[in-house]
Amino acid sequence: MQAPHPSEGTATVAVTPPALVTRMQAFRYWLKLGLISFGGPAGQIAIMHHDLVEQKRWISEKRFLHALNYCMVLPGPEAQQLATYIGWLMHRTWGGIMAGVLFVLPSFFMLVLLGWIYMAYGHVPTVAGALYGIKPAVVAIVLFAAYRIGSRALKNRIMWLISALAFIAIFLFKSPFPLIVLAAACLGFIGGQLAPHWFSLGGHGASSLHYGPALIDDDTPTPDHAYFRWPRMLRIVLVGLALGAIVMAGLVWQFGWQGVLSQMGWFFTKAALLTFGGAYAVLPYVYQGAVDHYHWLNPAQMMDGLALGETTPGPLIMVVTFVGFVGGWLQHASIMSSPFVAGVLAAMVVTFFTFLPSFVFIFAGAPLIETTRGNVRLTAPLSAITAAVVGVILNLALFFAYHVFLQSQWFPGVDWLSMALALAAWLALARFKCNVIALIAVYAVIGMAIQYLR
């Protein structure tokens, strides 16, 4: 007996749950996901939903969205945290570690390789031309991200007001991003109590689609390891703090507190706790620290890092790996003689401290979320935070546009060619739904052609 698929009519819904998933099957899937997870958090979450909910049926729609809503209110990359959450739910702690690490490992190696090419051959005309073409595409991608999130989040005048206030706060008054997030969350919490109909938007609304019985279904009992226990939560937090402290102590012992690697570890620990709203929202904070305060790299290198980060799979916050590599390469004299080895060490330090809090948040908090399924109190603060993030991302887009359109090394003054390329990229994304990676590849070729014709 088969029922028609609610959205396709001719499709069918399975009536039996899938077989148990072995750790090796899970390993192969998470590695594959790490290699193909292009398109930013929205694209990565869509891939996981298609694979894990619709096709493989490892987890049901409601359980998937319940996990996602928790990941969206955490600091850190929500797609990587969602993979960690599902891996943990299926195969306990080691399953979560496997899913979370494999989600970012391919991107780490790719960015280290790209960082080496950039530092060793970045001034080669072909590479410079490719970067010139990619940068206006990145401006369009960031603007489109603001548009895409805004079209989902700004559904009424209260959401528009919160977004506008966030933009004014960061653009005119240079307010710290954590303060903006905290203020938005407080507004959402209060508004959810007083006028819940204005704040009942959520991050990803529940769906009525059903794809058949799932391995972890709506009514599947909570496994033993997913029950919340205070001693277990405390133990996980202490282990996470100990890991961070041990690595930091080793860096301080070897290089001193003011050493480059020690300061990178401390700075990116703070950055990891401030990444509400994803990488687009926290990049201004990373820019302020890495470029303006510590001078690990210059504005052009930061922009190039974002452009290269868009070309690799994994969460966009992985651009910090590039920042670490370039910073380690340039400051290698205080680390070790080899610029490449210093860059790799710095990339490892930055990546470790950026993602360690994400694992702690999932392993410590997910059991509480699993045992309180059905509680929607996080919806209102999440809606307000999402609205505020739209304003922050718009500010980020203007920041990038300024550096691309007005500070071109090739065309003094206003770079009208870059503006035209950015407009064309916007149309490709918004009107023709062009794939981000395909767009970047095309623009890299265009940039090389412009370099050749100059």
Helix (H, G, I), strand (E, B) or coil at 59: strand
Give me the pLDDT at residue 292, please: 86
Amino acid occupying residue 102: L
Residue pLDDT, tens place only, 364-389: 999 988 886 655 455 677 778 778 87
Place of tokens 């890299």: 444
What global pTM score does this model have? Answer: 0.76
Give me the pLDDT at residue 23, please: 95
Give me the pLDDT at residue 233, please: 96
Q: Is the dihedral of CA 243, 246, 250, 251 positive or negative?
A: positive
> Based on C-alpha coordinates, what's the Rg of the chain?
22
Residue pLDDT, tens place only, 227-246: 999 999 999 999 999 999 99
CA distances from 450 to 125, 128, 326, 406 (A): 10, 10, 26, 18
- Distance between CA atoms of 391 and 417, rounded to whole angstroms? 27
Q: Which residues contact 417 (CB under 8 A, 6 or more apart)?
A: 411, 450
Per-residue pLDDT of the chain (454 residues; tens, 9 = 90+): 334 444 444 445 567 878 899 999 999 999 999 987 765 676 688 788 888 988 899 998 888 877 887 887 788 888 899 999 999 999 999 999 999 999 999 999 999 999 999 998 876 677 778 878 888 888 888 788 778 777 767 888 999 999 999 999 988 887 877 788 789 889 988 888 888 878 765 444 444 456 788 999 988 888 889 999 999 999 999 999 999 999 999 999 999 999 999 999 999 999 888 766 566 667 778 888 899 889 999 988 888 888 788 778 888 889 999 999 999 999 998 898 899 999 999 999 999 999 999 999 999 999 988 886 655 455 677 778 778 878 877 887 887 788 788 866 556 678 899 999 999 999 998 888 887 778 888 988 998 898 888 7
- Distance between CA atoms of 103 and 407, rounded to whole angstroms? 35
Triad 393, 396, 397: Cα angle to 5°: 90
Q: Which of 105, 96, 102 is nearest to 29 (CA)?
A: 102
Domain ranges for the chain: 24-203+227-453
Question: CB–CB of 328/255 below 8 Å?
Answer: no
Q: Which of 86, 274, 249, 261 is nearest to 179 (CA)?
A: 274
CA distances from 445 to 134, 149, 185, 333 (A): 9, 29, 43, 36
Element (H, E) at 128: helix 125-153
- Distance between CA atoms of 347 and 328, rounded to whole angstroms? 8
Question: CB–CB of 119/127 below 8 Å?
Answer: no
Question: CB–CB of 233/369 below 8 Å?
Answer: no
Question: CB–CB of 265/353 below 8 Å?
Answer: yes
Amino acid occupying residue 420: A
Phi, psi of 407 (to 5 degrees): -125, 40
Place of tokens 């729609």: 61
CA distances from 398 to 5, 58, 99, 406 (A): 43, 41, 35, 11
Amino acid occupying residue 50: H
Q: Where are the alpha helices (DSSP H) in 256-298?
A: 260-272, 279-287
Give me the pLDDT at residue 104, please: 94
